[in-house]
Amino acid sequence: MMLNHRSAAKSAANKRALEEAAAEETVEHTQKKAKVMDASTFAEFDLSEQMPPSGIHVAHLFSSLEFSLTTMALYHRTASFPLVKAAVESSCKCSFSTSDLARIITIYPEAYECSFTKPTDKLTRPELCLKPTSTSFRTRMTVFCNNLNKLLATLPSVEDALGPTPLAQLRAQERRHAAALTPLEQANYLAKPVPKELQGLPAWLVQKVRTAEWHKTALTQKVDSADRLIATLPTLHKCFRACSK
Q: Is a pLDDT exceeding 80 seen at residue 114?
A: yes
Could you tell me which of 13, 140, 132, 23 has the C-alpha nearest to residue 82?
A: 13
Q: Is a pLDDT exceeding 80 seen at residue 88?
A: yes
Structural domains of the chain, ranges and CATH numbers in brackets:
39-155 (1.10.10), 163-243 (no CATH)
- Compute, in degrees rounded to 10, the torsion defined by CA atoms 151, 156, 161, 165: 130
Residue 29's pLDDT band, with cuts at 50, 70 and 90, is very low
Q: Alpha-carbon distance 130 to 64, whole Å?
A: 14
Residue 22: Cβ-neighbour burial (10 angstroms; 0-12, 13-18, 19+): middle
Mean pLDDT across the stretch 93-121?
Answer: 90
Q: What are the start-end ranges of the E strands in the chain?
A: 112-116, 128-132
Residue 25: Cβ-neighbour burial (10 angstroms; 0-12, 13-18, 19+): middle
Q: Is a pLDDT exceeding 90 seen at residue 104?
A: yes
Residue 67: its pLDDT value, please? 92
Could you tell me which of 57, 44, 38, 141 has the C-alpha nearest to residue 95?
A: 57
